[in-house]
Structure 1
Amino acid sequence: MAERATHDTDYGSLTDEELISRLREAEETLDAIRTGAVDAVVIAGSQGQQVYTLENADRPYRVLVEQMQEGAITLSETGIILYCNARFATLVAGPHDGIVGQPFVRYFRADEAESLSSMIATGAGSGVSGEFAIVNEFGQEVPVNISLVDLKVDNAMPRLVCGIVTDLTFSHMRARELSAANEKLAGEIDERRKTEENLQLTLDAAEMGIWELDLFDGRLSRSPQHDRLFGDTGLLSFDLPALVSRFVPEDQTKVHEAFERARETGNVQFERRIRRANDNAVRWVSVKGRTFYDGEHPIRITGVTADVTQRREVDEQLRQAQKMDAVGQLTGGVAHDFNNLLMIIGGSLDMLRRRLPDDAKLVRLFETARQAVARGSKLNHQLLAFSRRQDLQMEVVQINDLIPTFEHLLERAVGEIVKIKFIKDLNLWECRTDPHQLETAIVNLAINARDAMPHGGELVIKTANRRVNEALASRWEASAGEYAMISVQDTGIGMSAEVLAHVFEPFFTTKDVGKGTGLGLSQVYGFAKQSGGFVAVASMPGQGTLIEVFLKRSNDPVQTVRKPTETKLEAGTGLVLVVEDDADVRVTTSGMLEDLGYSVLSAATGSAALEIVQGTASLNLVFTDVVMPDGMSGVELTRRIGLLRPELPVLLTSGYTAQRAIPEMPTGEQALLKKPFSQAELSVAIRKIMANARNT
């Protein structure tokens, strides 16, 4: 029987020489175990001496193999199962005793048998592995990983193969879950990328730049679009003071205060002007941002910047249009009252003239007063032109053909120190307009140009065809399309931006008191608008002024201008009802009719007039104002009279007679007499409408 080796494991007090001796002793013991001279080892410990024999030395390993979670196998070199643990039996769902002696490949898919047999037969060497699928006794597939290694006991014994079979079901499930999660994550990343791309496209389309202000180090991060808005290129570092400096000086304090308030309020929002770095242009930008906090401490402000110049310009145009419309309403009312005053003065003068002796001095006084009424009427027409309530006589005209008719007026208006130059487009389109109002507009523009050149200069009057796009049309509150254009350009002192902002307002003038009415350009503006066109102005101090009048193109043929009929003062007979809310005008008009030989009744309202019409069978004519305050206009009164007495003629009168100003305005030639009218004009109108009534 072999000897037993005994060892003391208390090494704490040994010297180096003793340790070396013990080591040598241990080596000798190992050699003895290898050669079989020793079959047990006794190790002294705290619980006494323990004896370890070769017979029971592998017992812990057997227990370990049986209880491990992986399948363990021992195969012959031909692939016959010589040993398997309980876990492998569980994987194949077969009895442990029935597995040993079976071919290993029996428990795998048929299409994998050849590959698995080859791996066993070739030899595992230091180790091979692969993934296969066990088909258990229930026909279920179990994915496994097989690791094989050759086991050589000695050269005399056949080669054995040991293997570990690991269940991959959970791993595959986790892999599928991970793959699905990765796919979902990839989808979310792709969706976020698309969202970010769409957001960037939206920001670029809206010309919006992104920025972030770090409140700790003051650094301001910006997107490329943000720098483009400010006209910057290649800026690497930027901070809040640098940003504030890009705004115009008068806005910088407000911008700085807005960012300071954002620390407490949690947001920043303002619209201010910047001066671009690359072209020095002034632009309006809108800045909006939100403050982020760490607890109660602000750490950063993030936001966007957008160019809102166009929107600001549109808003300003809208405000200007609303202001001009309000002023137009005011001037229209003033013109109405002024017409009544002119009516009273002119009518009274006409009646006085018939009673004046043939005294040359008195006649001159009358003519002077009558001329003053005419000038007042012309001034009133300018007011009505601005308010777009004048009665335009629209015709299809060729502007080039009209220029010679008022060329001499222009020469007289500007004087000898101003040289007039005409540039005509020989292929100029026809347009629909009132030729007389166009003449007045051009003369007014020429007079303004003359006053802008006190020491002389050049006045260029040009005609051309223009196709107006949406951008230009929106700027001047017009519609896109084709226009015939006539422009007046001078080499005068020009106008500042402040003056240009008010240039079309009535009564606005830069001339000395008594040297201008401030109605010239307002007349041009109103005339063009009422004609369906518009006026464009360009001017800079010291560089002259260009004013272009655009009139809508017409494809109709040019019309022949009708000559006005001469008015004659003739007496008449009959009973006339005068309907007028202004007492002085009513008295004056009644007096003018009586002076012509007519009998007259009068009423201040439409309802009072209807009572007279119903109760007076001998009535020959109703002469009514269009605009009256009691809710019944002259047009409505005419309609009701037509229902009561269709044979009774009605003559309307008004200071402003445009269709836009008076809905449902009759359009007959003798249906309306424009204020202020003379006694002769009144006589002709009444005789004609009464004659027409007798002939029907």
Structure 2
Amino acid sequence: MLDTEGRVTSWNAGARRFKGYEADEIIGQHFSRFYTPEEQEQQIPRIALETAEREGRFEIEGWRVRKDNSRFWANVVIDPIRDPAGNLVGFAKVTRDLTDRRAAEEELRASEERFRMLVQSVTDYAIYMLDPEGRVSSWNAGAERFKGYSADEIMGQHFSRFYTDEDLKAGIPQIALETASRDGRFEAEGWRVKKDGSKFWASVIIDPIRNDDGELIGFAKVTRDLSEKRAIEEQLRQSQKMEAVGQLTGGLAHDFNNLLTGISGSLEMMKMRIAQGRTAEFDRYLIAAQGAVRRAASLTHRLLAFSRRQTLDPKPTDANRLMRGIEELVRRTVGPGVRVEVVETSGLWPTLVDPNQLENAVLNLCINARDAMPNGGALTIETANKWLDERAARKHDLPVGQYVSVCVTDTGTGMTPEVIAKAFDPFFTTKPMGEGTGLGLSMIYGFARQSGGQVRIYSEIGQGTTICLYLPRHGEDAEVEERPTDSGNADATATGEVVLVIDDDPTIRMLIAEVLAEAGYTVVEAPDGPAGLEILKSNARIDLLITDVGLPGGLNGRQVADAARVSRPHLKVLFITGYAENAVIGRSRLERGMFVLTKPFQMEHLAHRIREIIEGCNSLQR
């Protein structure tokens, strides 16, 4: 207790412990001796008593002085004491030693300040805070360097201004905050926009910040500029691409030189035998040349599949039905030492693919699986519906959405990570010389990508391999078409039908015309699109149009066919193509009465196909 002048009138054990004075040393002394010289000079003791008397209480924190002149941090409360008449008779003073608490608070403040200075000084990362709505509430030097905004320009602005127009339309900023709040973190890579409108490739992490009650109070956002890293990766990809092109060119030159040697050698031998009058030996040279042509056709087909330029005829396809249809063929192909199981998913979605190419892809995978199990084993073909969310789609390099998977699994030798990394490269093979072209998996990869899907390999040495095709889901109400079967009367002779042939290669026109004439058709020829369209605009009878897709003269084959069908809506069309100008003929399914035949083709097969089309065989109706 203090009297009205501020002299000590009572002293408890706590006072003695805090301040070091015994009661007989301090009673009657003025309480100002506990104050620092600085506060005494400012007359803080007098102000404290006047404030307590006037306002009913004085409370403060500050340094106080012990008997030994050491200091401690104190919380001080002074209350006035009055008699029943309201006269001031003294003061009650309570002091609490807060030295330890203040030391902890100072350490915390120092730590926070060190952290703040550290964050502010970081220039390799943009580190800043957002409020719960996404407005910027702090901004470090890295953020200013990456994005070009100073702190006073961006504080209080919404962080969505750093996103591209495409991301804004897709609602990515809001999705990012919702994902962070729901899942505890949002992480992504993508283009971000600087103040000057230029873009940089960024790695972004957003973490939610919550108080002790779990209430969301904001977000911490860290952005890293990966533009340089992306440029290096792009250079590496380009280097790898050039290495693959070199490998492709070398393999292609080797294989085609062999094929050309077989063809040219056979022709030379035929020429020699003609000069010698030994025509009886023609057959074996002819057979050799034709075999080389077939191998060349197969090689170009595989190359076009790898480069995603093959001609595809996509149809709504039930993969379950397709796998069921080839199960027996797979069993015969892999042999009795391999157990084959087909696992179908109930309610499998349809997919829009070329069913022939899907069959070929799965059959190739099964053959590879058989070769990986020289001592026998188990082979499983499994279909499934797959929903790829953002993370899974990124992992598979596909858009978010629904897919049908077709997986082939074996219990064979497996692949090393190094082999998996090169498995889709053209002409890469682990098989002995002469037992594989090295184009099987690259062809499957090209087919999957051209169909809007993907292929992935999962393998462990000694445990086996799973290779999965992921193909986009087709519409719910798509009517899945039955596979065509061979026509029984396709070899019938013509009955006066007229066929228009448009091709800029005179040799091909000549060969097609002769085959058609042999079969009894009347043939009309045109060297380019405009000339062919003039004939089609006339009143001449035309039962079938056969046209190359790539034509000179400003009109391609599809444009000619579409223009002709304005006046001849039921005209049947057969497109022939050396590689898939799929952008022209395959943007969507071909219209009813349109068909595709890929070069090179056997002339006998051409005549057979024409008869099927003209007669409108049920198996080929679209």
The TM-score normalised by the length of structure 1 is 0.45
The TM-score normalised by the length of structure 2 is 0.49
- Structure of greater Rg: 1
